A and B are shown apart, each in its own frame.
Chain A
Amino acid sequence: MKLSEKELEIIEILEKDARTPIDVLAKMIDLPVEETEALVRKLEEAKVIVQYTALIDWRKADGREGVTAMIDVKVTPKRGVGFDEVAERIYRFPEVKSVYLMSGAYDLSVVIEGRSMAEIAQFVSEKLSTLDSVISTTTHFILKKYKHDGIVFDQGDQDRRIVVSP
């Protein structure tokens, strides 16, 4: 889908801050509000804008810290459907946050979020490893998130500039 310059501007702005009010967005891209709204709707319908999400630092919510693991999965691709079928069987589990087909030492990279290490261990041993095409899994637990999706966690954003300068 070929996007216009204004459409590209919209998705760049919304990717940084999905909560940018429509009237502000309209001024930023220099279009009337109605026209901007129509463009946003079009981008949503075309699934260029897939969803609006919030980036949460769960460590700050007591009792909800959770555990994230990245699992390297080796699989046997199936004739005709390659890796797609097994990938789909994996990504349908609600615990699975993302699935990528990788080049290199393993085939699928699966990111899982759970309440505890035990929960993730259970998922890997009971759900993932038992899938027909899965040959092996290697689980890496994430110990601390420093940067996620381009955003640095706990970054001081205070303005260090003096109040008035030449």
Chain B
Amino acid sequence: MKPQTRKTYVSKTVAGLKPSGIRRFFDLASSMDGVISLGVGEPDFVTSWSIREASILSLEQGYTSYTANAGLLELRQEIAAYLRRKFHVDYCPETEILVTVGASQAIDLALRAIINPGDEVIIVEPSFVAYEPLVVLAGGKPVAVCTSGEDKFQLNPVHLERAITERTKAVIICSPNNPTGTVQSRTELEAIARLAEAHDLLVIADEIYAELTYEGEYTSMAAVSGMRERTILISGFSKGFAMTGWRLGFAAAPDEILQAMLKIHQYAMMCAPTMAQYGALEALRSGERDVAEMRNSYRRRRNYFVASLNEIGLPCHLPGGAFYAFPSIKPTGLTSEQFAERLLIEEKVAVVPGNVFGQSGEGYIRCSYASSLEQLQEAIKRMKRFLARL
């Protein structure tokens, strides 16, 4: 006999997840023509030809089988050398580096490898949209610590300490930050480090935008004294090397944690795509010049775009990295959703409302300046017109 009502097949955890707010805007924006998109979270450069060429060559040579679960040893060795060269941190390529399918998978693995049911994970907000759901999916409890525009979105260690409880397992930080572009200063990182030590916490450091830091030398969380042992360093090739579609990231962490991550990875993913790994190998060997050129280009566009936002009446701090400006729309009196929706419909400029990055993003919008200068100029013109009408 058939049951009267059909049970839902979807797990309660998944059913309870909110769909990404970015998705809603994507659907709306992609149904319209002539949209200038400042909503993209990826470089406007195509991957350098030498990288693409290396990947094509790997296919021509027939490298189409699985690699080691942790990734090509050659690539892990290059990653270790890169981390040493760039960020002055030492990892053993055999046991402490894992090649993943994008940095997002590395974050997922890190969380699944460390969380026991009910463990709390502190997320510094505004934050990348995936952190919170990934913590929930791993069985943990996300705890938000807000930063504010007045502090240029630098994390206040006092606020962080207040959020730490007996159950706190880890803190996720992203520097340069998506969506604010804020780079955590060395002093801030050291303050976080002291708290992590005092409360025996892990830090998941999402450093995917590290290559796109505009001023001064980048400080990796793992390079702060005492932190190598309690940091899971996450990075990848998407942003700095303009390789978003390749889905190639990596994690570096102390042996014990990395091996736990590897265990999940080998069952869930087996290994990252081989041809992408060969491309990444070339990126690390010869990509530095291209990265520097792209960084320069972003920096100039940032200068132009942020100065223009301030000029038209959307106050914005100068972001130290990534390719996002995060201006305040508070002077308009609109919510970030209302602002983004009306700007899209009335002037065909797509931006992402700040509230999708957490409650502290309300009152702001995320604008990616990874677009041509002409597009940015046109976007500013339209935004100015829009503001004049409000």
CB within 8 Å of B: which residues of A?
9, 12-13, 17, 20, 24, 27-30, 159, 161-166
Contacts and interface: CB of A to CB of B under 8 A. Distances in A.
A163 B39 contact: yes
A29 B301 CA distance: 9
Interface centre among A12, A24, A166 (most CB of B within 10 A): A166
B230 to A, nearest CB: 27
29 contacts: A12-B296, A17-B373, A20-B373, A24-B304, A24-B373, A24-B377, A27-B303, A29-B300, A30-B303, A30-B307, A159-B37, A159-B44, A159-B371, A161-B37, A161-B44, A162-B30, A163-B26, A163-B40, A163-B350, A164-B25, A164-B26, A164-B350, A165-B22, A165-B26, A165-B39, A165-B41, A165-B42, A166-B20, A166-B178
Contact of A163 (B37, B44, B296): B37
Nearest to A21: B377
B224 interface: no
B307 A27 contact: yes
B22 A164 contact: yes
B157 to A, nearest CB: 28
Given A27-B308, A28-B304, A29-B300, A164 B352 contact: yes
B387 interface: no
A159 B44 CA distance: 8
Nearest to A25: B304
Contact of A28 (B178, B301, B350): B301
Nearest to A16: B297
Interface of B: 20, 22, 25-26, 29-30, 35, 37, 39-42, 44, 128-130, 178, 296, 300-301, 303-304, 307-308, 350, 352, 371, 373, 377
Contacts of B373: 17, 20, 24
Given A30-B307, A162-B30, 12 more contacts: A27-B308, A28-B301, A159-B44, A161-B37, A161-B42, A163-B29, A164-B22, A164-B37, A164-B39, A164-B352, A165-B40, A165-B42
A28 B303 contact: yes
A159 B25 CA distance: 18
A165 B39 CA distance: 6
B303 A166 contact: no
Which one of B40, B129, B300 has the highest number of Cβ atoms from chain A below 10 Å of its Cβ?
B300
A162 B35 CA distance: 11
A20 B307 CA distance: 16
A75 B304 CA distance: 51
A161 B29 CA distance: 13
Contacts of B129: 166
A150 B376 CA distance: 24
Contacts of B44: 159, 161
A9 B37 contact: no
B35 A163 contact: yes
A28 B40 contact: no
Contacts of B350: 163-164
A20 B377 CA distance: 11
Contacts of B303: 27-30
Nearest to B299: A28
A161 B372 CA distance: 13
B29 A166 contact: no
Contacts of A161: 37, 40, 42, 44
A150 B350 CA distance: 32
Contact of A164 (B30, B296, B307): B30
Contacts of B128: 166
Given A27-B303, A29-B300, A163 B30 contact: yes
A161 B301 CA distance: 19
Contacts of B352: 164
A160 to B, nearest CB: 8
Nearest to B302: A28
A13 to B, nearest CB: 7
Contacts of A12: 296
A162 B300 contact: no
Nearest to A20: B373
A45 B90 CA distance: 51
B304 A162 contact: no
B267 to A, nearest CB: 26
Given A24-B304, A30-B303, A166 B22 contact: yes
Nearest to B46: A160
A163 B130 CA distance: 19
A25 to B, nearest CB: 9
A162 B23 CA distance: 11
A162 B22 CA distance: 12
Contacts of A29: 300, 303
Contacts of A162: 26, 30, 40
Contacts of A9: 300
Contacts of B304: 24, 27-28
